[in-house]
Every structure is written in C-alpha cells, then in structure tokens.
Structure 1
Amino acid sequence: MSDNDFQRLFAAILDLGLPKSMASRLRAFGREIDVKCGTVAEFDETSDRFIVFVAKGVAKLVGHLGNDREQIVALVLTNDLIMQSRTGTVPYFLYGITDCRLLAFPADAFIRTVAADPDIAKAIFDRMFVAFDQSRDMSVLLGRKTAQERVASFLSSMADRIGNEDENAGLLSLPISRREIADSLGLTIETVSRQFTELRQLGVIDTNGRSEVKILDRLRIRKLAALPL
C-alpha cells in the first residue's frame, strides 16, 4: 500500500495524527485495489465485509436484483469511505465510473484496530454515518419523490459534495452520465433530460455541455427537492 494513498485516507478523515502503531497494523491487512472504468472491484475472500476508501476516482455501488435488473444505490467519490458487504440478501458490487484506486480493509480487523483510539474511531464512524444517511435518503427519494424532486435532490446533493461556490451559485462538473443519473434515480434518461430542461427554464440551473451544471438558486432547488431549507 503506497504511503501517499495511505496518508490520503487519514488526511481526508482526520485532523489529528495517526499513531505509528495503529498505522502499521492497518497497513498490514489493508490492500490497494485498482479498478478500471466500467469494471467491478474484486475483493478477496478473507472477509464478508470491507471498509473501503476511495483514494482516487469515482465509483458506483450497484445492487443486482436478477433478470438483468440493477439499481445504483450510491455514488462514491474521491475521499469517500463506505462499507462493502456480501452478507445482504441483495448482492452489491462496486464499479468504476472512472479509473479508481481503492484502499480496502477487512471490516472486523479495521474496527478492532481503530477502536483503540476513541478520537480516531469517532472521526471514522462519523464518516460512515454520513454514508448511511445518504443511503436512507436515497430510499426515500426513490420511494416517494416526484421526478422533479428526484433530479433536484440529486443536483443539490452534488452541489453539497463537489460544488465550487461562485458568487452564491454552485458550479459542478457531474462525474456521471445522464444515463447513470437516470439509473440511480429510478427514471428514464428522457425524463432526466426533460427535468434538466425544466429546471433551466425555471432559472434554477444553467448547463454547459453534458456535465457542467451551475446551480443559480441553491434555496429554490432545495425547495423543489422537498428538502429542509
């Protein structure tokens, strides 16, 4: 495991230093996984659950339902920390949207190791709780929201996660295609394109090409997304 990737993990999560003894233990059972764009991350068979850190790239966590049906349940960005599990009733796989480098740690060993330092354990589990909250938000989004609310929710979330503030407007370059947005929101690509057009006409967003979006009114897009103001 490279020093740069290992240090990036804790620089992204912690404002405090990592004790050398803990670093050596984590390094001993962690491993790097390089994932090419469009391919699935291959985890070894030593554990059913892994803590996964995205050191570079963008990935998607996909649930496979059988009969060629699948659902994107999470968009995983650089510096995100998630759990990959084989124990659920639905099989989940992590696919590279771009070329990715992952750091993977068997979950049980990882938890035992970081539990030795309460401050480090809290910082890491706070990040994990963010991922859990995002998954719950996705369940509500897919189950109850209209098409416009889903697209507005997606754009508001992306603005929070990767947007650059530009005079009260969030400027972002979307890391996934319209097709992948549609798959993640349970919509057709035609519906997503139509909602982008409607949001432009409402003066809430502006677009440049297929990936660049500027949020012109952060308050209104949250209102359209049925999110707390």
Structure 2
Amino acid sequence: MSDNDLQRLFAALLHLDLPKSMASRLCALGGDVDIKCGAVAELDDPAVRFIVFVAEGVAKFVGHLGNDREQVVAFLLANDLTVFPRSDAVPYSLHGITDCRLFAFPADAFIRTIAADPDLAKAVCEHMFVAFDQSRDMSVLLGRKTAQERVATFLTSMAERIGKQNDDGVSLSLPISRREIADSLGLTIETVSRQFTELRELGIIDTNGRSDVTILDRLRIREVAALPC
C-alpha cells in the first residue's frame, strides 16, 4: 500500500487528513495482505494482535466454536478498520467474501506511532469506541431479539453502511450470502429466507434476486428491528 492509499483510507474512515510524514511511518510498519474469494488471510505472526484496514473488497471475521460450528462476528467492507483478535478461548480467522486487499499493522507499534499525533490518536480511539458499542449491540441482538428483529436490524445496519437513496427507498446490493447472514445472526438459512419473505409481504422491503434489496419504509423497518426511530 502506498502513502496515498493510506491517506485515502484515513480520510474515508476517520474524516481526517493524514500527514504524509505519518503515512510514511505507518506504511513502514505494516504490510499488504491479499485474500482471494473464499480464502483465509495469512497474517505473519499468530501471536501478534493486528490492526487491519480494508482497502478493497468484502471480508468476514469468523469465530470457531469447535465441531465445525462457526459464528460470523463482523462483515468488513472497503475503508473499514478493525482489530484482528487473539484469544485463547475462541480461535478467529478472516475470510475473503470477495477478493480483498488489506493492510495490517502490528497493533502495539501502530498505537505507539499514532500517539505522537493527538488528533489522529483521538480519531482512532473514537472509531474503536464505536466498534465496541457495536459489539455490545450484537450481544443484545443475538441474546434477546426475535428472528425478524435480527434480520431487520441487519438490513438497517447495511443500509447505513452501503445503502443508496433513490426514488423507491434505500437500495442495497448485498455482497453477503443468505448463509453468511444466517451465520452472523445465529439463525438458519431457512429462517433468514422466511424473514425476508415476511418483510417483503409486509411492504417494508422489496427484493430482486438474492442480492438486491430495497428498503421501502425506513421507519417501519426500524420499528420491526426494535431500534429507536
């Protein structure tokens, strides 16, 4: 990744101009990680926690529970930043949903470097706090919400991340399969498909094929998702 690529990512992610000198220092710390569709990222040191930027593509974090059971922890889109966790309790892996280009930094070195720039450090910390809030929200989502509430919450979240407003509503071209949605929400693929059908019959969404979704009524889908309106 070039200095210019890193400056673009920081501008998109944190709405912050990254000085070229800082971009050069960070680039010297990190390295490119390419993942093919369906493949698993190979990070250099399994004992090191990494901070990962997504430059291109769509990926997913997967937690492995044993007996071939998996939980999709998060979907990562272009310009996302995340921490690749190291846990003795749950092994994690990072999979390409599409071909991906990532940039990975050893977390300790990254934090020491950005600490020299208070504005940058503050912006990164604020982004991480948002990620922590989303993790807590996911715990509530999986523990207490109904199947329909979970699917409606997922669609609301994706609308905020990749939705495009048009005359009919908010259109989504989901890069994520129904199986992957099910694995992220703790549901079966049959249940996810049934909830899409029910939301469509309620006039809240429209679908075209497996990927294209239009949210016709943003207020009602938030109500169904049990989210503040």
SS at match of 1:8: helix
User: Is structure 2 residue 62 aligned with structure 1 residue 62?
Assistant: yes
Match of 2:217 in 1: 217
Deviation at 1:24, TM superposition (A): 2.1
Partners of 2:7 and 2:118 in 1: CA distance:
19
Between stretches 193-202 and 44-53, larger displacement belongs to 44-53
Query: 1:182 is matched by which residue type in structure 2?
Result: A
* Deviation >4 Å, runs of 4+: none
Task: Supply the distance in 2 between the matched residues of 1:171 and 1:20 (Cα, whole angstroms).
Answer: 36
What's the offset of the Cα at 1:155? 0.5
Instruction: Tell me the amino acid that sits aligned with residue 35 of structure 1.
Output: I
Which of 164-173 and 175-184 deviates more? 164-173
Partner in structure 2 of residue 146 of structure 1: 146
Question: Aligned residue for 1:85?
Answer: 85
Q: What displacement does 1:46 show? A: 7.6
1:124 aligns with 2:133: no
Aligned counterparts, 1:41-190, within 5 A: 41-45=41-45, 48-167=48-167, 169-190=169-190
| TM-score normalised to structure 1 length | 0.95
SS of alignment partner, residue 128 of structure 1 = helix
Distance across 2 between alignment mates of 1:98 and 1:72: 15
Query: How many angstroms does 1:86 deviate by?
Result: 1.6
- 8 A contact 2:152–2:225 mirrored in 1: yes
* Higher deviation after alignment, 190-199 or 116-125: 116-125
Q: Which runs of 5+ in 1 are unaligned?
A: none
Q: Once the two structures are superposed, what CA deviation does each residue of 1:17-48 show, in whole Å capped at 9, x if it has no partner?
A: 32333222211111000000111111111852
Could you tell me which residue of structure 2 aligns to residue 32 of structure 1? 32
Q: Deviations over 1:158-190 (max 9, x none)?
A: 111110012472111111011111111111111
Note the C-alpha offset of 1:88. Answer: 4.5
Amino acid at match of 2:183: D
% identical aligned pairs = 76
Letter in 1 for 2:213: V
Match of 2:10 in 1: 10
- Asked if the contact 2:3–2:23 (Cα under 8 Å) also holds between the matched residues in 1, the reply is no
SS at match of 1:17: coil
Aligned length: 229
Give secondary structure in 2 for the equivalent of 1:158.
helix
Secondary structure at 1:45 match in 2: coil
Letter in 1 for 2:165: E
C-alpha contact 1:81 1:131 (8 A) present in aligned 2 = no
Normalising by structure 2, we get a TM-score of 0.95
CA distance in 1, matches of 2:199, 2:14: 37
Give the root-mean-square deviation of aligned CA atoms: 1.5
- CA distance in structure 1 between the partners assigned to 2:200 and 2:47 by the alignment: 47
1:56 aligned partner, one-letter code = E
User: Which amino acid is 2:205 matched to?
Assistant: I
**1:45-70 deviation line (CA, Å, top 9, x unaligned):** 18521110000000000000111111
- Give the CA deviation at 1:15: 3.6
Q: Does the CA-based 8 Å contact 2:14-2:127 persist in structure 1? A: no
Contact 2:58 2:75 in 1 (8 A): yes
Unmatched 5+ stretches in structure 2: none
Return the offset for 1:71.
0.3
